[in-house]
Amino acid sequence: MTSNAMSEPSDVDLVFDAHDELGEGVTWDHARRQLISVDIMRGRIHIFDPDSGSVRTLTVDQPVGAAVPCRSGGLMLALRDGFARLDTDSGALAFVAYVEFDQPGQRMNDGTCDAAGRFWAGTMCMQERPGRGALYRLDADGSVHTMVTGVGISNGIDWSLDGSTMYYVDSLTQRIDRFDFDLASGTIANRRPFVTIDPADGCPDGLTVDTEGGIWLALWGGWAVRRYAPDGSLDRVLRVPVSHPTTCAFGGTALDTLYMTSATIRLTDAERLAQPLAGAVICHRPGSRGRPAHAFAG
């Protein structure tokens, strides 16, 4: 931690508790005023309505790493076997593109959409073996493009305010990396480290970028979400009452609420008792605001 970083107490609120094993993929659907998140290994997708306080949970028959809204309705999912569209009214699931489906030890993990509506999501080996995964880009026409290979655990993705930089986490590298990004072509280049995390502080997981260009990073095993300034300096540390926060995203009408997912999958029974909010979606209002998440263009 840099000397000027501010550490904040765990003044977080419970959003809803679905008792997730591996909560992930939180995103705010700004058009529909709904919060979407997943419970990966159970194949559950949660849709939370903050106006009514209700949670609707849909289940698919394989692990789901991320779910993003589609412009045409429904959700696009990053599943164990690839990308599939979920009709949230009927529950019907239709595969759009298979990815590594012939490798049963692999699954898709975290993902999000760029400003052109392309869905970026990556894979990982379920035994967390280095180099077995990749990062993919799903375009609106259903075509899939391999963007990065040799990935350990593909995780957080977001873009700088001007759209020229893509931030990316491969958790096994203990880093946030950055790429040069071209929106028109959807290409990335010139990968280089942005921030390196000491393993003693946790493992880098999901991230989001706020309206000032700050990068908020969840630390798996680290009891914290950190904010890094655009120059890579550590600006703030939000202490949270769960040891395994997994990702974060701004939402709410004013986009001023930082929503965070969490996990219980690595906890002992005693640790679960000591962390009653583990496995829940929690939130905090840090005084920063986020940007509306992009929907899939298909």
pLDDT tens digits, one per residue of 114-137 = 999 999 999 999 999 999 999 999
Does some domain include residue 57? Answer: yes
Distant-in-sequence, close-in-space partners of 180: CB < 8 Å, separation ≥ 6: 164, 165, 166, 188, 189, 190
Does some domain include residue 295? Answer: no
Distant-in-sequence, close-in-space partners of 131: CB < 8 Å, separation ≥ 6: 150, 151, 152
Q: In this structure, what CATH number is given to the domain that contains residue 10?
A: 2.120.10.30
The residue range of the domain holding 197 is: 6-284
Query: Which amino acid is located at 81 in the chain?
Result: D
Is the per-residue pLDDT at 11 higher than 80? yes
CB 207 within 8 A of CB 224: no
Does some domain include residue 163? Answer: yes
Is the per-residue pLDDT at 3 higher than 70? no
pTM assigned to the model: 0.95
Q: List, for residues 61-117, the tens digit of each pLDDT value.
A: 999 999 999 999 999 999 999 999 999 999 999 999 999 988 889 999 999 999 999
Does some domain include residue 296? Answer: no
What is the tally of structural domains in the chain?
Answer: 1
Q: State the pLDDT confidence band at 1, using cuts at 50, 70 and 90.
A: very low
Does some domain include residue 127? Answer: yes
The single residue of 158, 170, 177, 205 carrying the catalytic annotation is 205
Whether residue 205 lies in the annotated active site = yes
Does some domain include residue 291? Answer: no
Does some domain include residue 297? Answer: no
Does some domain include residue 290? Answer: no
